[in-house]
Amino acid sequence: MLIGIDVGNTDFTIGFFQNDQLLDTFRMRSKSKKTSDEYGMFLLDALKYRGYNVKDVEDVIISSVVPDVMHSFTSAIIKFFQLRPILVGPGIKTGLKIKTNNPKETGTDRIVDAVAAYTLYGGPVIVIDFGTATTYDVVSENGEFLGGVITPGLSTSVKVLTQQAAKLPEIEIRKTDTIVGKDTVPAMQAGCFYGYIGQTEYIVRKLKEETGYLDAPVVATGGLGRMVSEETTSIDYYDQNLTLKGLHIIYKKQKKITN
C-alpha cells in the first residue's frame, strides 16, 4: 500500500492506494501544529478504520507547502511506519520540464496537479486548484510547465472581507438565487460567488489567448472547485482527487528509476 499526502495551507489530504487504485481519502487540519505522536496516531486510526495496519504500508510520498509542520510530520512517518517518506521537491522525477524563472520556488502542489492533469488529460492543459490560494497553471503539449496565475482563494477572499469591514458579518459561501441581494448577507454571498466565477472565466480566457492554447482542456480541483465548476463552461473537468493522483503518478516514476 502507498500513502499519498498533500500538506496544504488549510488541510492535510491523505490517500491510500492499493494496486494503483485510490481506496479512500482522509483530511485533517494543517493550521494547528501537532506533535509527531499526534500525527502518527491519526494515520494509524485512519488505517485501522479502513481495515489495514502498519505492515501493509510499503511507501509514503508527501507534497507540502507548509514547511513548519514537516519536521514533526516526517518524524511521525519514520517513528510509526519505519519508513522515510519520499518528499516531492527538487531532484524528484515528475516527467515535466519546469520552465519558470526559478523552478525551486514553484510550489510542489502546483507541480503535482500539473503532472496529474497532463498525464490524465493530455497537453496542452490548464489546471486550476481552488484552495487557500487559487492557482491557474499551463502545461504545453510537450509537457512544459509554463507557469500561471495565483490569486486569493474564495474562502480567503471572504475571510479578508469580513475581517477588514467592521459591519460585515461572517457568511456561508454559496450560490444565491439572484445576483441582486436584498440584504447584506445575500449581497455579500452574491458578490463573492459570482465575482469569483467572473474572475475564473476571465483568467482562463486570457491564459488561452496569451498561450494560443484555445482548445486546451481546463481541469479543476480543490475544495470549492466543484461549486465553481458547476457554474461555468470555462472548466471542462472537475477532479477532487487530482493532487493525490499526481502523487501516485510521481511515485511510480520514482520506482521506475530506482528499479
Tens of pLDDT, residues 34-48: 899 999 999 999 999
Could you tell me if 123 and 233 lie in one domain?
yes
Q: What is the mean pLDDT of the chain?
A: 93
Inside any domain, residue 203: yes
Q: List pLDDT tens digits, range 200-240.
A: 999 999 999 999 999 999 999 998 899 999 999 999 999 99
Could you tell me if 103 and 220 lie in one domain?
yes
Could you tell me if 108 and 230 lie in one domain?
yes
Residue among 109, 113, 129, 239 flagged as catalytic = 109
pTM for the structure as a whole: 0.92
**Mean pLDDT of the 14-43 span:** 89
Inside any domain, residue 259: no
Q: Which cell numbers in the block locate residue 248?
A: 501516485
- Could you list the residue range(s) of the whole structural domain that residue 9 is in? 2-87
**Mean pLDDT of the 37-63 span:** 92
List the 59-64 sheet strands across, edge first.
21-29, 11-18, 2-7, 59-64, 86-87
Inside any domain, residue 155: yes
Q: How far apart are CA 25 and CA 27, in angstroms?
A: 7
Could you give the maximum distance between any two Cα atoms of the chain, in Å? Answer: 64
Could you tell me if 29 and 142 lie in one domain?
no
Could you tell me if 233 and 115 lie in one domain?
yes
pLDDT tier, 258 (very low <50, low <70, confident <90, very high otherwise): low
The domain total for the chain is: 2
**Is 11 assigned a catalytic role?**
no
Could you tell me if 111 and 55 lie in one domain?
no
Output the pLDDT for position 257.
60
Q: How far apart are CA 88 and CA 64, in angstroms?
A: 8
Statement: residue 259 has pLDDT above 70: no
Q: List pLDDT tens digits, range 175-195.
A: 999 999 999 999 999 999 999
Q: How far apart are CA 15 and CA 26, in angstroms?
A: 7
Output the pLDDT for position 121.
96
Statement: residue 196 has pLDDT above 90: yes
